[in-house]
Amino acid sequence: MTSQTLTPASSHTGTRGLSALITAELRLFLRDAGNVFFVVAFPTVLLIGMGLAIPGMREPITDLPEPWLGLRAVDLFVPLMLCVAAATAGLSTVPAYLASYRETGVLRRMATTPMRPQGVLFAQAVVQLAGVTAGGVLALAVGSLVFDAPMAQNPLLALVVFLLATASMFGIGVLIGGLAPKGATASGIGMLIYFPMLFLAGLWTPGPMMPDAVEAIATYTPLGAASQAMSEAWFGLGMPWVQLVVMLAWAVLMFTVAARTFRWEV
């Protein structure tokens, strides 16, 4: 009679296999120059491009009340880059990778191994989260060094917002990747969502300068809520309870739907 109980030896083997899978996924990610650029470098390139090329970005703001008075437009964009990093990975690379793995039969083959295809999802999440974190940290470092931008007044809140923003964006990405028949299709759908999300997050018009109607709508979108909450953490405006709940709700909803609809085979 064979016992189904997980022994310490098999547990160790599973842990070692998962570590190997994460390492393999990391190598594949690093070999894809396009994904590395968009996930890690794009937020920084975007910040530098806006800060240096757009007129008035480094001029003090004089037509807004405190705490915005005296800040520069580029200062408002620095915390937004953390949200951009989360959205870029969540809506571009995550769905494309998952859909392409199903398209090429990787998930089907994984189902015949002790690791199971869920291991691929976990490994992808770890690698993409590492990429998003690297992209966000790089953008903050460049913002501080190049533009002397202020850092978060409430760093713990900023970290919570960053994690919730990443979770909500990854939830949408997993849902897309779990349903799209091909990697190219998943990438295209992600991009269709990506740019409206950036608009509502304030990439074209920073939050304090947004029309009231647009700002109200943005509050109930995952990236708009993330941007607003990040600004409150950055400039010490208080606790953004509504935005935190919105991001959490989006993350739970998207992962719940994704878990019910994810297709492991074409």
Instruction: Indicate whether 48 belongs to any domain.
Output: yes
> Rounded CA gap, 197 and 36, in Å?
21
Indicate whether this model's pTM tops 0.85: yes
Residue 31's pLDDT is what?
Answer: 92
Residue 3: inside a domain: no
Question: What would the DSSP string read from start to end of 201-254?
Answer: HTSSS-GGGS-HHHHHHHHTSHHHHHHHHHHHHHHT----HHHHHHHHHHHHHH
Is the four-CA dihedral 26, 28, 30, 34 of positive or negative sign? negative
Domain assignment present for residue 42? The answer is yes
SS3 60: strand
Tens-digit pLDDT string for the chain (266 aa): 343 333 344 344 456 677 888 898 899 899 989 889 999 999 999 999 999 998 888 998 888 777 788 889 899 999 999 999 999 999 999 999 999 988 988 878 776 666 666 777 888 889 999 999 999 999 999 999 999 999 999 999 999 999 999 999 999 999 999 999 999 999 999 999 999 999 999 988 877 778 889 999 999 999 999 999 999 999 988 899 999 999 999 999 999 999 899 888 77
* 119 contacts: CB under 8 Å, gap ≥ 6: 17, 18, 21, 110
Q: How far apart are CA 231 and CA 194, in angstroms?
A: 20
Residue 224 lies in a domain: yes
By residue range, what is the domain housing residue 204? 17-261
Residue 2 lies in a domain: no
What is the tally of structural domains in the chain? 1
- The b/e string for 181-194 (b: 16+ C-beta within 10 A; e otherwise) is eebebbbebbeebb
The closest alpha carbon to 93, from 35, 172, 32, 133, belongs to 35
In a domain, 266, yes or no: no
Instruction: Write the CA distances from 207 to 27, 43, 211, 226, integer angstroms.
Output: 38, 18, 9, 11
Whether residue 115 is contained in a domain is answered as yes
Determine the Cα–Cα distance for residues 129 and 113; give it in Å rounded to an integer. Answer: 25
> Is residue 12, in this structure, part of any structural domain at all?
no
Side chain identity, residue 129 = L
